[in-house]
Chain A
Amino acid sequence: MLWIAIRMLTGDAQKFYGLLFGIGFSTLLITQQMTIFINLIERGASGVFNAPEAQVWVMDPVSRTTDVSFPMPATALDKVRSVEGVEWAVPHLRAAANVRTKEGDLEGVAVIGVDDATLIGLPKRMVAGDKTVLFAPDSVVIDDVGTTRLFSDGGQALGERLELNDQRAVIRGIADAIPSFTSQVVLYTRYSNALNYVPGTRNRMTFVLAGVREGESPQAVAARIEKETGLKAQTHDEFARAGINFIIENTGIPTNFGITVFLGFVVGVAIVGLTFSLFLRDNIKQFGALKAIGVTNGKIVQMVAVQAGLVGLIGYALGVVGTVLFLKAFGGNPFFKGFYIPWQIPLISLAAVVVILAITGFIAIRSVLKTEPAAVFR
């Protein structure tokens, strides 16, 4: 009988494709929008992800994220170094600056000063050039997405000279970095260089990055730093979380994406519900005949469930594949750099598909179950 159910469904090509479209479209909308949403808010933590060596971030108590921060006096570095369990600690500077390009355009950039000796604070990988290029005078490393922004005409970035806050800077490397939420151009340079580029207030060290001794947990060390220095200390994960939360709390993004995801769900319910009801109604005579002949209601429910399941499975697969293709197609676009689909998202959209089919199947099947077998003689 289940074979017959499938044939009934696929035999009605128009409705079959309508159902596939409905489920596929919903899945695509939900999966794709949630993927963009997650990746976008994770960019709030890009500053943390781009400095993977730092196990603990130490900052002024009022600082909230890598970009919303208040500088500390230089003495903070020694204070942190003296805390038990701290293996190493380096200064880290983040500040805004202006760049005048060769063409004369002005672009706001983020200047990041990494430790002079260890270069801790640089992203893990380089796209071009070696990390050691930073040891050269006036040397800066630009982030890869930043090059597309600063050199939109596709010009060569390496070796390019910039006027950074009226001082000379030469791009000698390109870092493979996760773009920030605003995709602002980021220039990495040594800490001592950064102090020159960024006009002086008294305190300019925005963070101290620290590593913990073997056998110590970052949480414990962070807690100890807070207690002994009066500064704020967060682990890599905590600080990443703080960056993400900042985006969630301070932008309309969750609402906007939430609405789109909800609309995807509603569109799914509407298209699938209507088409499925129409499909069952078109076949109500056949179902009535089957009931008269001797097919139980339980079996009818199974038939409809198989029909829903088939549509759901294929439609869902199409939607997920569509999302993957979408990300593939736009993978070259810097906006989508590093986008990935967290494994939870396909599960969530699968759950949405199941709910859509359960709701619509339940509504649609009632008419079939209510059909009296005697109705076939009418």
Chain B
Amino acid sequence: MNAAGSIVGTRAIGGCDPEAAICARGIVRDFEAGQSTIRVLHGIDCDIRPGEMTYIVGESGSGKTTLISIMCGILYPTAGEVRVFGTDIYKLSDSDLVRFRLHNIGFIFQQYNLIPSIDAAANAAVPLIAQGVPREEARERAKVLLERLNIGDQADKLPRQLSGGQQQRVAIARALVHAPRLVVCDEPTAALDASSGRRVMDLLREVAIAPDRACIIVTHDNRIFDLADRIIALEDGRITHDGTAMPDDH
């Protein structure tokens, strides 16, 4: 953002690869649980590179969702800094952070969270509409993406008229329609059988990976680990593995 901010940021975040899509340093996150405080993330450092599909894996409760939420700007860390394409996102004002997400981040939610009363094209067009793109133009752009996802013929249907897999494609289209530089995805295959899971991940690789775009996928579905470019494993809020493949003990 502003020059002063970036100098301060560069100083504060040591060893940040200037090419990195996400550079997280010293991420700590505590949750209040009644009287006590639980530390879920214990000072995470990690870089996410563009052009790659990065998996964050780990057992249930290890902090995957918490980490990804912090990395994409929807959950404030208790301590630490996150730079997304050079912007120190938690130094932004609330409204600037919202705007930053709107223009830079695509989300794929496990439950899709489509709006039931608008058709597939309009659902996929939501980020554009929120950006202020005229509705018809936004729809047309969304339809192009639906074509690429092979559900162009479903564009005028309401979510409830679509199968689960088709709904997920609409959700994927919504995550990509505004050409975000970062795509995040929590458990995309949790509800799917093995072969549909692979199909979705193949599809994601095909449409989501771009040289200047990073893609982070949270999963504990080891059936699809081989589709990752890079795997980061979490255990009790600490990174225990970071490499191109999963170590055998997982």
Provide the bound-state CA to CA distance between A39 and B135, in Å.
Answer: 50
> Is the CB–CB distance between B117 and A8 below 8 Å?
yes
> Is the CB–CB distance between B109 and A377 below 8 Å?
yes
Which of A3, A11, A294 has most B Cβ within 10 Å? Answer: A294
**Residue B85 at the A interface, CB < 8 A?**
no
Select A4's contact among B75, B102, B122, B174, beta carbons within 8 Å: B122
**Residue B63 at the A interface, CB < 8 A?**
no
Least CB distance from B8 to A in Å reads: 25
Report the stretch among A90-98, A209-217, A284-292, A308-316 that lies at the interface.
A284-292
> Is the CB–CB distance between A4 and B115 below 8 Å?
yes
> Is the CB–CB distance between A377 and B68 below 8 Å?
yes
> Is the CB–CB distance between A4 and B129 below 8 Å?
yes
**Residue A347 at the B interface, CB < 8 A?**
no
**Residue B205 at the A interface, CB < 8 A?**
no
Report the stretch among A124-132, A175-183, A368-376 that lies at the interface.
A368-376
**Residue A1 at the B interface, CB < 8 A?**
yes
Provide the bound-state CA to CA distance between A285 and B115, in Å.
Answer: 9
> Is the CB–CB distance between A292 and B117 below 8 Å?
no
Cβ–Cβ < 8 Å partners of B174 in chain A:
293
Report the stretch among B93-101, B146-154, B193-201, B219-227 that lies at the interface.
B93-101
> Is the CB–CB distance between B98 and A378 below 8 Å?
no
Cβ–Cβ < 8 Å partners of A283 in chain B:
115
Provide the bound-state CA to CA distance between A294 and B128, in Å.
Answer: 10
Provide the bound-state CA to CA distance between A373 and B186, in Å.
Answer: 14
Provide the bound-state CA to CA distance between A68 and B75, in Å.
Answer: 76
**Residue A79 at the B interface, CB < 8 A?**
no
**Residue A149 at the B interface, CB < 8 A?**
no
Chain A: CB-nearest residue to B113 = A289
Interface Cβ pair total, 8 Å cutoff? 84
> Is the CB–CB distance between B127 and A293 below 8 Å?
yes
> Is the CB–CB distance between A377 and B65 below 8 Å?
yes
Select B115's contact among A7, A292, A294, A299, beta carbons within 8 Å: A7
> Is the CB–CB distance between A295 and B102 below 8 Å?
yes
Provide the bound-state CA to CA distance between A291 and B221, in Å.
Answer: 28
Least CB distance from A9 to B in Å reads: 8
Q: What per-residue 1/0 map shows which CB atoms of B63-93 lie under 8 Å from chain A? A: 0010011000011000000000000000000
**Residue B161 at the A interface, CB < 8 A?**
no
A292 and B118 in contact, given A286-B113, A377-B110 (Cβ under 8 angstroms) = no
Cβ–Cβ < 8 Å partners of A293 in chain B:
101-102, 107, 126-127, 130, 174
> Is the CB–CB distance between B117 and A12 below 8 Å?
yes
Least CB distance from A287 to B in Å reads: 9
> Is the CB–CB distance between B107 and A292 below 8 Å?
yes
Which of A3, A7, A298, A373 has most B Cβ within 10 Å? Answer: A373
**Residue A10 at the B interface, CB < 8 A?**
yes
Chain B: CB-nearest residue to A16 = B117
> Is the CB–CB distance between A378 and B115 below 8 Å?
no
> Is the CB–CB distance between B115 and A376 below 8 Å?
no
Provide the bound-state CA to CA distance between A7 and B123, in Å.
Answer: 12
Provide the bound-state CA to CA distance between A283 and B107, in Å.
Answer: 18
Select A377's contact among B69, B103, B135, beta carbons within 8 Å: B69
> Is the CB–CB distance between B115 and A288 below 8 Å?
no
**Residue B243 at the A interface, CB < 8 A?**
no
> Is the CB–CB distance between B118 and A288 below 8 Å?
no
**Residue A333 at the B interface, CB < 8 A?**
no
Chain B: CB-nearest residue to A283 = B115
Select B186's contact among A10, A11, A286, A377, beta carbons within 8 Å: A377
> Is the CB–CB distance between A376 and B113 below 8 Å?
yes
Q: Which of A295-324 contact B (CB under 8 A)?
A: 295-296, 298-299
A286 and B115 in contact, given A293-B101, A294-B102, A295-B98 (Cβ under 8 angstroms) = yes
Cβ–Cβ < 8 Å partners of B74 in chain A:
292, 372-374, 376-377
Q: What per-residue 1/0 map shows which CB atoms of A5-24 lie under 8 Å from chain B? A: 00110111000000000000
**Residue B116 at the A interface, CB < 8 A?**
yes
> Is the CB–CB distance between A376 and B107 below 8 Å?
yes
Least CB distance from A368 to B in Å reads: 14
Provide the bound-state CA to CA distance between A376 and B122, in Å.
Answer: 20
**Residue B111 at the A interface, CB < 8 A?**
yes
Q: CB within 8 Å of A: which residues of B?
A: 65, 68-69, 74-75, 95, 98-103, 105, 107, 109-111, 113-118, 122, 126-127, 129-130, 135, 174, 186
Name 10 A/B residue pairs within 8 A (Cβ), A-sorted. A1-B129, A11-B117, A288-B113, A289-B113, A290-B130, A291-B98, A292-B107, A294-B103, A299-B130, A373-B74
> Which 3 pairs, one residue from A and one from B, show the smallest C-beta to C-beta distance?
A11-B117, A294-B102, A289-B113
